[in-house]
Amino acid sequence: MTKSRHLSHEEFLKVVENTPLVSIDLIVFDPEGRVLVGLRKNRPAQNTWFVPGGKIQKDERIADAIRRISEVELGVEISPDKAHIKGVYEHLYPDNFAEAPGISTHYIVLAYEVHLKSALLAPPPDQHANYKWLTIQEILGDPKVHVNTKAYFKKTS
């Protein structure tokens, strides 16, 4: 895996202002068919329930990103061969990580499904204030679950 250089706050804000970001969301199922969601601490989508995920870094292979993001977001490394692509989604937010006025955030998201053998996880508290397992019906019915997370479970015609 290639180590990417970290952008300064100002450099990254310029990226967010001018380009879409490419990210991976992990739709993590437990053995009972429930999905892991976390209460987001940061913008965008702050204070909503959302599936774990993260940006793909420059020169990072998708398989390496799945390993890194799962380790950072779940506290356990998921093997890329256990993650199955669900689809490509677009997430548009009116705000940004820095709360800079007039700058929206645009993500192109590769959504991957992961089925765990156990619901026993100890995710780090960096990105989410709390975690919980919800059924798909609970996700679709909860107004605090972000619309972009709900989109993973809505039937398309």
Q: What is the pLDDT of residues 113-130, one digit of tens each?
A: 999 887 777 777 777 788
Q: Give residue 157's pLDDT.
A: 44
Cα–Cα distance for residue pair 60/3, rounded to 1 Å: 8
Tell me the pTM. Answer: 0.91
Taking alpha carbons only, the member of 55, 38, 48 closest to residue 125 is 38
**Distance separating alpha carbons of residues 14 and 8, to the nearest angstrom:** 10
Fold of 9-118+125-153: Nucleoside Triphosphate Pyrophosphohydrolase (3.90.79)
Residue 11: pLDDT band (50, 70, 90) is: very high
Would you tell me how many other CB atoms lie within 10 Å of the CB of residue 129? 11
Residue ranges of domains in the chain: 9-118+125-153
- As a whole number of angstroms, the distance between CA 58 and CA 94 comes to 24
Residues in the chain: 157
